[in-house]
C-alpha cells in the first residue's frame, strides 16, 4: 500500500543484531576507525564504564550512522547478506555470494 | 544281498569268486599336485616403493598445510570482524550498566536513608582502581 500524501515516514532505526553487525564489519572498521580506537584507548586506560561514556556515545552514533547510510545506498544487498549470516550463524565462508554482491553494491571507498 | 547285486559276475559259483570293488585312482593315476613355492622376484624394488610412499605422504602433508592456511584465513576474517564490532557492543553495555547502577544507587539511598554513617555506593575495596561488581550470591553458611 503506497504511502498517502502528507503522511510522515518513520525514520529508519537500524536493528543491531549480530548478523547485521557482522555483515557491516568492514564498513565499521573503515569509517569508525578513529572513534573505535579512541574508545578502546580510554577503556585500556581506565576500565570504569562511567569514565568512557562520551567516547562510547561517539562510537554508537558512528556505528548507527554507518548502518543508516548502508540502508540508504544498498538496502536489498545488505538485507540479503544479513539474512544469510543470520541463517548460517555468522559464518563468512557460507555467504560468499551475498558478501560479494554487498561489497559490489556498497564499496568501502564510497 | 546288495553286494551280490553290485559285484555279481557271470559264471560265479561262490561268493568268494566275487571281484574286489575298491575305490581307487582313475586309470593313469591322478594328475600331479603342485606344492612348490612360486614367489616371483619381479615388480618394484624397495627404493621405488619407498619413493612412491614418501611422495604420497608428502602430498598429504602439503594438503594439510594448505588446509591450515585456509583455516587460519577464516579465523582471521572472523576475528577482524569481531574486533570491528567490539567497541560498539562495549559502549552499549557501558551505557546500560551506568543506567542500572544509577537506579541501584538510588534504591540503596532510599533503603539506607535512616542508617547513620552509611555512604551510598561506597566501594568494598581499598583500591581506587575500577573493580567489576561481585557477582556471587552470599549464603548464610558461607565459610
Q: Which long-range contacts (CB under 8 A, 24 or more apart) does A2-7 make?
A: none
Looking at residue A99, its pLDDT comes to 97
- Mean pLDDT in chain A? 92
Within chain A, residue ranges assigned H as helices are 18-23, 25-31, 33-45, 53-73, 75-87, 96-105
B87–A39: do the CB atoms touch at under 8 Å?
Answer: yes
B98–A21: do the CB atoms touch at under 8 Å?
Answer: no
In angstroms, the CA A19 to CA B14 distance is: 110
Q: How far is A24 from chain B (nearest CA, A)?
A: 9
A44, A55 Cβ separation under 8 angstroms: no
Nearest to A46 by CA among B41, B97, B132, B106: B132
3-state secondary structure (DSSP) of residue B25 = coil
Give burial (CB, 10 Å; 0-12/13-18/19+) of B113.
Answer: exposed
In angstroms, the CA A22 to CA A97 distance is: 15
Looking at residue B137, its pLDDT comes to 67
Looking at residue A48, its pLDDT comes to 95
Q: Which residues of chain B are modeled with pLDDT < 50?
A: none
Residues 6+ apart with CB under 8 A from A30: A108
A47–B130: do the CB atoms touch at under 8 Å?
Answer: yes
B51 touches chain A (CB under 8 A): no
In angstroms, the CA A46 to CA A41 distance is: 9
Which has the minimum average pLDDT: A36-40, A60-64, B19-23?
B19-23
B95 touches chain A (CB under 8 A): yes
DSSP A12: P
Query: Within chain A, what is the greatest distance between any pair of CA atoms?
Result: 53
Looking at residue A53, its pLDDT comes to 96
Looking at residue A2, its pLDDT comes to 52
Q: How far is B100 from chain A (nearest CA, A)?
A: 12
The string of DSSP codes covering B63-86 is: HHHHHHHHHHHHHHHHHHHHHHHH
B91–A56: do the CB atoms touch at under 8 Å?
Answer: yes
Q: How far is A40 from chain B (nearest CA, A)?
A: 7
Looking at residue A11, its pLDDT comes to 84
pLDDT in tens, B35-67: 999 999 999 999 999 999 999 999 999 999 999
Residue in A50, A60, A92 closest to B78 by CB: A92
A36, B87 Cβ separation under 8 angstroms: yes
Give the count of beta carbons closer than 10 Å to the beta carbon of residue A25: 20
B90–A43: do the CB atoms touch at under 8 Å?
Answer: yes
- Residue spans of beta strands (DSSP E) within B4-143: none
* Angle formed by the axes of helices A53-73 and A75-87, nearest 10°: 110
* ipTM, two decimals: 0.90
* B71 interaction partners in chain A (CB closer than 8 Å): none
Looking at residue A5, its pLDDT comes to 58
How far apart, in Å, do the first and last CA atoms of chain A sit?
Answer: 33
B130–A28: do the CB atoms touch at under 8 Å?
Answer: no
* Angle formed by the axes of helices B46-111 and A33-45, nearest 10°: 70
Amino acid at each position: 500500500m503506497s504511502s498517502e500524501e502528507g503522511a510522515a515516514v518513520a525514520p529508519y532505526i537500524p536493528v543491531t543484531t549480530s548478523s547485521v553487525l557482522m555483515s557491516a564489519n568492514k564498513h565499521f572498521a573503515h569509517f569508525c576507525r578513529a572513534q573505535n580506537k579512541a574508545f578502546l584507548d580510554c577503556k585500556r586506560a581506565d576500565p570504569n564504564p562511567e569514565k568512557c561514556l562520551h567516547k562510547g556515545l561517539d562510537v554508537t552514533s558512528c556505528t548507527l550512522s554507518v548502518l543508516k547510510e548502508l540502508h540508504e545506498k544498498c538496502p536489498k544487498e545488505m538485507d540479503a547478506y544479513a539474512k544469510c549470516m543470520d541463517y548460517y550463524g555468522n559464518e563468512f565462508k557460507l555467504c560468499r555470494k551475498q558478501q560479494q554482491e554487498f561489497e559490489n553494491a556498497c564499496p568501502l571507498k564510497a | 544281498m546288495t553286494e551280490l547285486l553290485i559285484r555279481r559276475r557271470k559264471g560265479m559259483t561262490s561268493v568268494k569268486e566275487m571281484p574286489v570293488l575298491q575305490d581307487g585312482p582313475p586309470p593313469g593315476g591322478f594328475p600331479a599336485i603342485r606344492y612348490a613355492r612360486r614367489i616371483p622376484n619381479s615388480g618394484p624394488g624397495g627404493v621405488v616403493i619407498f619413493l612412491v610412499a614418501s611422495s604420497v605422504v608428502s602430498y598429504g602433508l602439503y594438503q594439510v598445510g594448505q588446509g591450515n592456511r585456509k583455516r587460519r584465513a577464516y579465523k582471521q576474517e572472523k576475528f577482524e570482524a569481531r574486533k570491528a564490532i567490539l567497541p560498539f557492543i562495549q559502549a552499549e553495555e557501558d551505557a546500560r550498566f551506568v543506567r542500572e547502577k544509577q537506579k541501584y544507587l538510588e534504591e540503596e539511598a532510599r533503603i539506607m536513608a535512616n542508617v547513620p554513617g552509611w555512604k551510598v555506593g561506597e566501594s568494598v575495596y581499598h583500591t581506587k582502581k575500577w573493580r567489576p561488581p561481585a557477582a556471587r550470591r552470599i549464603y548464610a553458611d558461607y565459610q
